[in-house]
Amino acid sequence: MTASTPFPRPITPFEGMDIRTLIDGQARRRGGHPFLIWEPFEGDSLVWSYVEFAELARRFAAGLAGRGVQAGDRVLVHLENCPEFILAWLGCAYAGVVPVTTNVNSTADELGYFVEHSRAVGAVTQPSLAALVDSVLPAEAWRVATTGGQGAGALPPAGFEAFSAIDGDPSQVVARPHDPWAAFGIQYTSGTTARPKAVLWTHANALWGAKLCAAHEDLRADDVHLTYLPLFHTNAQVYSVLASLWAGATVVLQPRFSASRFWPVSLRHGATWTSMVPFCARALAQQPVPAGHRYRFFGNAVCDAPWDPLFGVRSIGWWGMTETIAHGAVGSVHHPDAPLSIGRASLGYRLHVLDTDGRPVGPGQVGDLYVEGQRGVSLFLEYAEDPVATAAAFTPEGLFITGDRVRRGEDGWLYFADRSKDMLKVGGENVAASEVERVIAMTPGVSEVAVVGMPDPMLDETPAAFVIPTQAPTVALEQAIRDACVQGLAAFKRPTLIRFVDSLPRSTLEKVAKNELRDRLREELAASEGAARRG
């Protein structure tokens, strides 16, 4: 091999494997052990063992093949948390079909973009979302809706088949190779562009995330992982479901977070693990903490969170992105962590904290975070149908550009500093300021707009829009902007503050100095809080 000859693709831990390998293997090994327990807010719990779930996944895959869906085709999965989500998501992947899991808070404009961009050949949704899905799907695409929550004998919405219609005889499905490099799934994630990017995972990515997260969380076959965060996000998909599947553990699934139900459900099933976000922790702080709970750990954005003494549970901090699949930085389940850190670099990645000139920063300094890994295994394969965005996501040396900034602690731990200046974190949801700006800028009467994050006591931050109008601002213009946001943006992306200004602060090259806008909001908030205390 000469110096100019590229090296072949290296051997990965998942040669000759795909998601079928894991599902079928765990069905043999774990048998009748519960894999999935559904805890609805109304009605009885439902339980599927590993064997039962594997059979359902095979039948779902066969049902897709029976309706002509080919390996590599893409299917929209637009569902709130429910057993059908997990079955459709993993059943598609079992068939070699690519599930496109989308945020249920998406507007028609957003969902229509996902459908068009992904070229979805069909959709799985629920009655409450069926009209929206139907309005954006092409006429030739097939439509399936759940009926489980509609009562005995319920019919699917008009134009939709029942979810149970995707069913077939697995023995009739033509066998195909176990290819870890085949496409596993797509998630649309907010970035620094006006439209979300389609993060494409391979089967090797899914298996990598399952194995590494199970190790980071010290998941065992007797663990019970309570899952209430949205299944269309990486946290629930990988940190919870796939990690539990890898370990042979049990997933207890809820429709969404419920402070009043958290402890009763946890006690009923002996939950030992869950992800905890600040909003949920604040809500649970108002509930009595039972002495007999079995939680070993909470997963969280920081290690040793301030609420740990209240709950009597240790928080394991972590940092990750949809593009990294698993935790790029993580605390330790076996050794003490630095409080409020995001842990240390995961053994599965090489992290770099660099200054603006690309040089490593020293202890105590803040820098930009870059991740070194293998695309298609420890890092996402690509942004689907967007080679320009894919190329722009990496440095010439092949480092993934996270857009996040971290501080290297004097003690060797890593501490999250801030996000890319155009990204907001609203109640755990990533929001690109450019998405909001795109909608507002299209409103007649708007000359220019800049959106930044405004501190919020419950949601961490919410969007605030500074708008330069073409003429004197009016109440009607503000209402038109709000109407446009309702039409074009999910609720969590809509600005809570719209402020008309004559000009925007500028930095070099006439870019908007958003740091000055953020500082202005923080100063105003501090002043109002001070006035309230004095009053």
d(CA 294, CA 314): 12
User: pLDDT value at position 1?
Assistant: 39
pLDDT at 249: 98
Residue 509 has pLDDT above 60, yes or no: no
Whole-structure pTM value: 0.86
Asked if residue 411 has pLDDT above 50, the reply is yes
Nearest CA to 230 out of 275, 190, 191, 269 is that of 275
Kindly report the three-state secondary structure assignment for every residue of 112-162.
HHHHHHHCCCEEEECHHHHHHHHHHCCCCCEEEECCHHHCCCCCCCCCCEE
User: Which residue(s) pair with 161 in the sheet?
Assistant: 144
- Beta strands 429-432 and 34-38: pairing type? unpaired
Residue 144 confidence (pLDDT): 97
Q: What is the pLDDT of residues 161-186, one digit of tens each?
A: 999 999 999 998 889 999 999 999 99
Overall fold of domain 50-178: Rossmann fold (3.40.50)
Instruction: Return all residues near 459 (Cβ < 8 A) that are at least 6 apart.
Output: 279, 426, 427, 492
CATH topology classification for 423-534: GMP Synthetase; Chain A, domain 3 (3.30.300)
Taken in order 42, 265, 93, 23, is the CA torsion positive or negative?
negative
The residue extents of the domains of the chain are 50-178, 423-534
**Residue 177 identity:** P
Token pair of 400, please?
């993934």
Task: Indicate the pLDDT class of residue 135, thresholds 50, 70 and 90.
Answer: very high
CB atoms within 10 A of CB 226: 25
Tens-place pLDDT, residues 290-347 = 999 999 999 999 999 999 999 999 999 999 999 999 999 999 999 999 999 999 999 9
